[in-house]
Amino acid sequence: MSVDLQARLQALREAFLKELPARLAALRRAWEGLEGNRQGDLLFEAHRLAGAAGTFGQPMLSEAARDLEELLRASDAPDAAAVEAALAEVESTALRITLPVPEVSPGGDLAP
Amino acid sequence: MTSQVPHPTRPPLRRILAVEDEADLRAVLDLCLREVGQFEVLICSSGEEALAQAQAFAPDLFLLDVMMPGLDGPGTLQRLRAQGCGAPAFFLTAKVQAGDVAELTAVGAAAVVPKPFDPMGLPDELRARWAAL
């Protein structure tokens, strides 16, 4: 792959990460159900995120979104606490990948 | 250019009309199909847009996202067929289980490509599935 293509793909990956907060907000909004079909809207957003995240190099986020999607698909009345936990997992996974990697200090090892 | 031997009655895959509602995925599809795959590409943001453009663009292949607001992938394909657009259609979907593939095949999918797709690998995957039709 040419350097130019790699750079353009990288730019698209970064754009995806920049848009993540808006996607997470859409998940939350759907779950809060202000616009009606709470489960259907959340399923739709989770499905989109599962599809997009993998393409943009975030397989763990894709998996977390897929778990949420499957939970919603499995029942017409999924357990609210389970949905909340799966949604929280998506959010924390997203947070982990968007936070800068912490620096490991050479002196930071645990004492024996 | 592909090194695959074309099917005797099927020319090599050149023109693809893709439908994807998400802007960031449209951008990556454009990059991977046009630049990596060297296809002639038209990317539409909705089924309605595809219906308006399909006849003029005359694609070899439709690549349709399944879950879209408004007209979804299967609905788009049904209306494309009603318009007389007969090119094979591949569906792109994150929901790929055996039952789903059967369901999508029943509504006219020639192949089902799983999401997430690898942007660099998608052109080869499409060519392989095209060759297998």
**Tens of pLDDT, residues A30-69:** 998 766 778 888 999 999 999 899 999 999 999 999 999 9
CA distance A68 to A86: 5
Q: How confident is the prediction for chain B on average, in pLDDT? A: 90
Q: Which residue of A has its CA nearest to B35?
A: A5
Inform me whether the C-beta atom of residue A74 falls under 8 Å from chain B C-beta atoms: no
**Mean pLDDT for the stretch of residues A86-102:** 88
Question: What are the beta bridge partners of residue B64?
Answer: B19, B91
Q: What's residue B97's pLDDT?
A: 66
The residue of A19, A41, A48 whose CB has the most chain B CBs within 10 angstroms, and thus the best one to mutate to test that interface, is A48
> Which residues on chain A are in Cβ contact (under 8 Å) with B24?
12, 15-16, 19, 52, 56
- Please report the pLDDT score of residue B8 as a whole number: 61
A8 touches chain B (CB under 8 A): yes
CB contact at 8 A, B122 and B32: yes
Answer yes or no: do A19 and B24 touch at CB < 8 A: yes
Query: What is the per-residue pLDDT for A102?
Result: 60
Would the ipTM clear 0.90, i.e. be above it?
no
Residue indicated by tokens 């907060």: A21
Q: How confident is the model at residue B7 (pLDDT cuts 50, 70, 90)?
A: low
Mean pLDDT of B4-14: 72
Q: Is the per-residue pLDDT at B32 higher than 60?
A: yes
Mean pLDDT of B41-52: 97
pLDDT tens digits, one per residue of B79-116? 999 999 999 999 998 766 667 788 888 889 999 998 88
b/e burial code for range A18-54 (CB count within 10 A of at least 16 → b): eebeebbebbeebbeeeeeebbebbbbbbbbbbbbbb
**For residues A4 and A2, what is the distance between their CA atoms, to the nearest angstrom?**
5
Beta bridge partners of residue B63, listed in sequence order:
B18, B90
User: Is it the case that residue B2 has pLDDT exceeding 60?
Assistant: no
The first and second tokens of residue A12, run together, are 């698209």
Measuring CA to CA, which residue among B104, B102, B108, B112 is closest to residue B132? B112
- pLDDT (0 to 100) of residue A111: 47
Average pLDDT, chain A: 87
Residues 6+ apart with CB under 8 A from A45: A23, A26, A27, A30
